[in-house]
Amino acid sequence: MNEHSTKKRPAFDHLFFWFMFAQGGVIAALLIPVHILVQGILGPLGIVPVVDRHYDTWISILGNPLVKLYILVLIAFPFFHFAHRLRYLLVDLGVPAAKSLPAQAVFYGGAVVISLITIWLLLTTAPLSL
Amino acid sequence: MSTETATREYRWVMPRGWWTRRANYFWYIVREFTSLPLAVWLLWFLVEVQRAQSGPKGYVPHSSTAFVIFSVICLGFALYHSITFLSLAGVILHFKVLDRPIPSRLVVLSQFGAWAAISAVIAFVLIYFAR
Amino acid sequence: MAAKRITIQATRFDPDKDEKPRLQSYDVPFADESMVVLDALNYIKGHVDGSLSYRWSCRMGICGSCGMMVDGVPKLTCNAFLRDYWPKPITVQPLNNFPIIRDLIIDMDDFMEKLKSIKPWIIRKQELPLGAGEHRQFTPQIDEFRQFSQCINCMLCYAACPVYGLNDGFLGPAAIALARRYNLDSRDEGLKQRLPMLAEAEGVWECSFVGECSVVCPKGVDPAKAIQQTKLDTTMRFVLPYGNRD
């Protein structure tokens, strides 16, 4: 069994990733369903007009710095949430290797990479306009 | 843990399909799995942003039936994530006002209220600025 | 009218003879409606097969000794009524996630070590002399932790926890709930001594909030809540400025 408890230390990496997981979970819960409903269902079916159905409206709203910031939040935090959950899901399904440091690097690193891609896309897609 | 001299014990081995044996376990795995379809849908959202780079001529919005079906499935998972996450967060958050704990039902209700309000604002922006 | 009978399928495992556990069927008279699974086991031991081994003591949901898997669900057998299962046969197995010593008896050493490791007693920075009197506490202060103090160490929560089943290094539901019980006690000053155990990798972070520990608890303790709140409090301690002060 365990060595004496003095050997144990708070795991700050786990603390940080759980914090990001919780934040991302709240943001995903609050923001994502309405995007899927409006942009994924109502828009394509033509039930309501939606900004991303036309180039002009889409590019103009993407130019707004607040929208850029919002999209970064919409992507970055939830991806840390997804990375954390999928890693634990693999453990649950019998892949203990998902606990290893390389696995953590792949999953959380993936979330960082997607966040960086998002920043790059937001900076290159539409010129800033106020 | 066991040595040669100790009485032999039968060690527990977690069965691979443990999560199929009880409904609660199954719904827990579904809850964790929601992250996959949500991640895929958000990647599509990034593609939608990226496609705006192709200019007014090259921009054709997604309209296929397959895409709508994919979104409907993702919406199911998204709602399940929202409902479970916001309900469970009510268990975790513990606030006090004037030294009296706020009942967790009130915390959960206010979270669902915030969800509705935020969704309405986002839907308004997405639709209003389409003109 | 012929007397009612019920079939009990109990796990048998003799470490000297058996390679692995097997189920054995027993036919037991279901004499009165208040009979519980533990009564059926006692009938088997007394009248059918004296070699059947299992733990029990109080028969009234207090001692926490008679926890077993009843039809795959961790239950106190003294609190599992035959009338809820009859006429179907009942399968009685040792608690999941623990090594089996014999028949329905599991090895609880790991659990006892974990309970001890979180120092489940009131810790004071400076012990006061006895003459200084008792440590006073008001009812609202007791209400903070009352629920977490109801644990009877029956280990049903460990048997319900797939995280513990996959990795027995996990500190586990009851131990963390008990740690929180003392951390929330207004008389206690031992948080810093317990934090290393709670906040290490196989402490609270191992938990993925399945929530089944709280569902099966016969005493209404909510270990899942204790674990998630410990995660949040620990995080806030390090995230908020000055959060780490005493």
Domain C109-239 fold: Fumarate Reductase Iron-sulfur Protein; Chain B, domain 2 (1.10.1060)
Please report whether residue A94 resides in a domain.
yes
Whether the pLDDT of residue C1 is over 70: the answer is no
pLDDT in tens, C61-111: 999 999 999 999 999 999 999 999 999 999 999 999 999 999 999 999 999
> How far is it, in rounded angstroms, from Cα B124 to Cα C5?
66
CB-based contact A26:A117 (threshold 8 Å):
no
Closest CA to C39 of C54, C21, C51: C54
User: Is A2 within a domain?
Assistant: no
Cβ B52 vs Cβ A60: under 8 Å: no
The predicted complex's ipTM stands at: 0.90
Interface test with A, best of C116, C121, C161, C205 (most A CBs within 10 A): C205
pLDDT at A2 over 50: no
Identify any residues that bridge with C5 across adjacent strands, giving them in sequence order.
C29
Predicted confidence at residue A96, as pLDDT, reads 92
Query: CA-CA distance, A99 to C202, in Å (whole number)?
Result: 11
User: What domains can be seen in chain B, in order of their start residue?
Assistant: 18-93 (1.20.1300.10)
- Residue B76 to chain C, least CA–CA distance (Å): 20
pLDDT at A24 over 90: yes
pLDDT at A7: 63
CA distance C40 to C55: 14
| A39 within some domain | no
- Chain B residues lying within 8 Å of A93, measured CB to CB: 19, 29
pLDDT digits (tens, 9 = 90+) for A50-93: 999 999 999 999 999 999 999 999 999 999 999 999 999 999 99
Q: How far apart are CA A1 and CA C211, in angstroms?
A: 25
CATH: 3.90.1150.10, 3.10.20.30, 3.10.580.10, 3.30.1600.10. Which one for C5-106? 3.10.20.30
Could you report the per-residue pLDDT of B84-108, keeping only the tens digit for each? 999 998 878 877 777 777 888 899 9
Task: Please identify among residues 181-240 of chain C the ones whose CB lies closer than 8 Å to any CB of chain B.
Answer: 208-212, 215, 222, 224-225, 228-229, 231-232
Which residues of chain A from 5 to 34 reach within 8 Å of chain B, CB to CB?
25-26, 28-34
- Encode pLDDT of B38-57 as tens digits: 999 999 999 999 998 888 88
Q: What is the pLDDT of residues C107-159, one digit of tens each?
A: 999 999 999 999 999 999 988 888 988 889 999 999 999 999 999 999 999 99
CATH number at residue A102: 1.20.1300.10
- Whether C216 and C209 have beta carbons less than 8 Å apart is answered as no
| Residue A79 placed within a domain | yes
Number of domains in chain A: 1
d(CA C198, nearest CA chain A) in Å: 8
Rounded Cα gap, residues C231 and B89, in angstroms: 12
Domain limits, chain C: 5-106, 109-239
Q: Is C59 helix (H, G, I), strand (E, B) or coil?
A: coil
Whether A36 sits inside 8 A of B1 (CB atoms) is: no
Structural domain containing residue A72: 14-25+55-125
Is residue A130, in this structure, part of any structural domain at all?
no
Residue A31 lies in a domain: no
| Residue A112 in domain | yes
| Residue A38 in domain | no
pLDDT of B8 above 90: no
